[in-house]
Structure 1
Amino acid sequence: MNLYSYFFVACVSAFCFLMGTEAVAQETHVDPIIIKAERNILLRSFIDLDGGKRVTHAISIGSPLKVHYTYDADNGQLVLLWKGEFLDATPMWHDRGDGSSRPIGKAIQTGDATPQIQRLATQQSEFKKDTTGSGFKPKGYTLDASGLPKFKYQTYGLNIKDATKVIDGGQGIRREIEPEGSADDLYLCLARANAIEQKDGKYVIADKAYSITVADEATLKPIIRTIQSAQELLVPFKSKIIYSILFNQ
């Protein structure tokens, strides 16, 4: 084979390689499957949190006000809050999928997929990581006229109603948790963070980019406590609790 023949074969080989690479690139390119919230909308999926924890019974609620949140139905807890566009469902619906979706943009993690209402023997008792001993049982949800859910569940012998709405103007969300009946020594954990500071009528969650306000704060008497180098904001859970989660920016 002369030099010209070597050059010709090399060119053909290079051309085939480049065409093959382009074909693979075209085959692997996937148009994202974006879920828009042009009205109040619910989507069930897996949701992944920091630290590799996966919420397997997550319900994400999207709002046309561009503020969205994810609810963990296994624990009765809000776990994510974000603003902007709603969800990227590509991981769930492309090809065989893995069942997960993800917020579009940066989400604030407001919960860690643990039961938010628990019984504490003392104010220094730690929260459990699961629902063992609580009798927790999801009871589904109902939708109001605007399509927003009111979640229902049982825990510690109480029937709980749990509803969240976006605050007008998109400043954050407002949540109402109401028990039917009462039980002793129950607490609702509103936040857990490296530092929580009470300032100007708000509880500033230092490392989470949000603040919390509690309605009827004087009566409810929220507690900031330190447990294993972290701080928690607790409210005794004896009657309806209304609080808001507000974006700091």
Structure 2
Amino acid sequence: MNLYSYFFIACASAFCLTGGSAIAQETKVEPIIIKAERNILLRSFIDLDGGKRVTHAISIGSPLQVHYTYDADNGQLVLLWKGGFLDATPMWHDRGDGSSRPLGTALQVGDAIPQIQRLSTLQSEFKKDTVGSGFKPKGYTLDASGLPVFKYFTYGLSVKDATKVIDGGQGIRREIESEGSANDLYLCLAKANVIEQKDGKYVIADKAYSITVEDGTALKPVVRTIQGTQELLVPFQGKIIYSILFNQ
């Protein structure tokens, strides 16, 4: 009997053992779940809408069950969610692909582009990369509670970027501060199909969250429309404090 005959018999036996089905049995994998019993950080790849992958993502988990992901390549918050922290199965099972995913439904609050940019006019579009900004990540330090304060250099400014969960898990409070000042810089707080100002908040209609800006009267936030999409901008002058609040 030659090699091909042995191969034919082996395949026929396997076909019979599976009841005539050629469909392979899938092996169930036990999920690798990361809990946030204290403030915790995890680096991984994170996938966003439209197939975009953040390759230098840092996800921060809180025991208050509100978590977020920061894109260190752009100085931008990209995801926010409630509930469990992360499923690290795609990253750590077998060879893995380096990615993790939020547990539950995450709100995409940023597009993995630089949040602070220079605009020559209020009709200028935000760039999709850091070209011309001199952007350079400078890592982060941890505060007394173990939460990161991200640091980066952009447009000649040293910037500190800190986020904390609001007591009660209503959302997060962000404080972005620079040393020095530069002209024509804007911070993009949100993009959506519709942004409505109501009861002192900016309601991000299709994203299930709202934004409040501290000292908004003096800062004068602007809602503009660019190529059919509305954007909430605020001039970046020294320090910006704002909150992202869940609508539900």
Please report the TM-score for the alignment, with normalisation by the length of structure 1.
Answer: 0.91
- 1:126-205 alignment to 2 at 5 Å? 126-205=125-204
CA positional deviation for 1:21: 8.6
Give structure 1 regions of 4+ aligned residues with deviation exceeding 3 angstroms: 12-15, 20-25
SS at match of 2:31: coil
1:29 matches 2:28: yes
**What amino acid sits opposite 1:143 in the alignment?**
L
| Aligned residue in 2 for 1:208 | 207
| Aligned residue in 2 for 1:17 | 18
1:55 matches 2:54: yes
Percent identical pairs in the alignment equals: 82
Distance across 1 between alignment mates of 2:22 and 2:56: 39
CA gap of 1:157–1:84, structure 2 versus 1, over 3 A, is same
SS at match of 1:192: strand
Distance across 2 between alignment mates of 1:147 and 1:58: 18
Distance across 1 between alignment mates of 2:52 and 2:24: 36
For the aligned residue pairs, the C-alpha RMSD in angstroms reads 1.7
CA positional deviation for 1:99: 0.2
**What amino acid sits opposite 2:157 in the alignment?**
L
Distance across 2 between alignment mates of 1:161 and 1:66: 24
Offset from partner CA, 1:65-120 (integer Å, 9 cap, x none): 00000000000111000000000000000000000000001000000100000000
CA positional deviation for 1:145: 1.2
Distance across 1 between alignment mates of 2:77 and 2:169: 17
| Aligned residue in 2 for 1:240 | 239
| Aligned residue in 2 for 1:4 | none
Distance across 1 between alignment mates of 2:24 and 2:189: 51
SS at match of 1:24: coil
Q: Check the 8 A contact 2:15/2:22 in 1, yes or no.
A: no
CA positional deviation for 1:17: 1.6
| Structure 1 residues without counterparts, runs of 5 or longer | 1-11
| Structure 2 residues without counterparts, runs of 5 or longer | 1-12
CA positional deviation for 1:23: 8.8
CA positional deviation for 1:15: 6.8
- 1:35-46 alignment to 2 at 5 Å? 35-46=34-45
CA gap of 1:166–1:21, structure 2 versus 1, over 3 A, is farther
Please report the TM-score for the alignment, with normalisation by the length of structure 2.
Answer: 0.92
Distance across 2 between alignment mates of 1:227 and 1:24: 50
Offset from partner CA, 1:199-231 (integer Å, 9 cap, x none): 000000011000000001111000000100000
| Aligned residue in 2 for 1:218 | 217
| Aligned residue in 1 for 2:6 | none
**What amino acid sits opposite 1:105 in the alignment?**
G
CA gap of 1:32–1:22, structure 2 versus 1, over 3 A, is farther
- 1:54-73 alignment to 2 at 5 Å? 54-73=53-72
- 1:58-137 alignment to 2 at 5 Å? 58-137=57-136
Higher helix share: 1
Distance across 1 between alignment mates of 2:82 and 2:64: 9
Distance across 1 between alignment mates of 2:35 and 2:45: 18
Distance across 1 between alignment mates of 2:24 and 2:127: 52
SS at match of 1:91: helix
SS at match of 1:112: coil
Offset from partner CA, 1:8-66 (integer Å, 9 cap, x none): xxxx9887225x999933xx210000000000000000000000000000000000000
CA gap of 1:238–1:108, structure 2 versus 1, over 3 A, is same
**What amino acid sits opposite 2:17 in the alignment?**
C
**What amino acid sits opposite 1:101 in the alignment?**
S
